[in-house]
Amino acid sequence: MLEIFKTNVIDKEQAFSIICLLNEHLPHCSVNFDLHDCDKILRVTGENIPVDTIIELVTGNGISCIQLN
């Protein structure tokens, strides 16, 4: 399963911080960013992806996060 989110991450350091946060809470998922895309895409793959949890964790760190699927 794949979930895609639009974010407003501004750089690699911020993306790395969010990846670490999500990996800590969702160790069964694979997380990555496409910072070259205009929507600063966050991709999460895995089984039973908790979309609401992802949005809550990301936005709780001051980053906009909108599901695109």
pTM value? 0.93
Residues 6 or more apart from 6 whose CB is under 8 A from it? 39, 40, 41, 42, 64, 65, 66, 68
Q: Which domain holds residue 60?
A: 2-67
Q: Please, which residues bridge with residue 66 across strands?
A: 6
Q: 52-66: per-residue pLDDT in tens?
A: 999 999 999 999 999
Q: Rounded to whole angstroms, how far apart are CA atoms 52 and 26?
A: 12
- Phi, psi dihedral angles at 56 (to 5 degrees): -65, -45
**What's the whole-number mean pLDDT along residues 19-45?**
97
Q: Looking at the 3D structure of the chain, how many domains does it have?
A: 1
Q: 15-27: per-residue pLDDT in tens?
A: 999 999 999 999 9
Domain CATH for 50: 3.30.70.100
